[in-house]
């Protein structure tokens, strides 16, 4: 039986923790940063965790993660 391909976009965007949760980067730090407050920029620098429902979808994209 052949292996299942992993989703290339998901490989670049999501990382699995040791406890099985999914980490991601927050959106909004690419351009149009002049109008953003410094506080918002600092908060966006930290990563985020996916909730369990979204994690199930990512698990299908990354079967071997």
Q: Which helix (H) or strand (E) holds 49?
A: strand 48-49
Give the integer Cα–Cα distance in Å for 32 and 54.
28
pLDDT tens figures, 7-33:
999 999 999 999 999 999 999 999 999
What's the pTM value of the predicted model, to 2 decimals?
Answer: 0.81
Here the tokens at position 53 are: 């429902």
The residues spanned by each domain of the chain are 8-61
Q: What is the average pLDDT value for the chain, to the nearest integer? A: 94
Architecture of domain 8-61: Irregular (4.10)
């Amino acid at each position: 039986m052949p292996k299942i391909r992993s989703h290339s976009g998901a490989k670049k965007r999501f990382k699995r923790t040791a406890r099985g949760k999914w980490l991601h980067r927050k959106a909004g730090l690419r351009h149009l940063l002049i109008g953003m407050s410094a506080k918002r920029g600092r908060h966006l620098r930290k990563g985020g965790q996916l909730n369990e429902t979204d994690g199930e979808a990512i698990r299908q994209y990354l079967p071997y993660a």
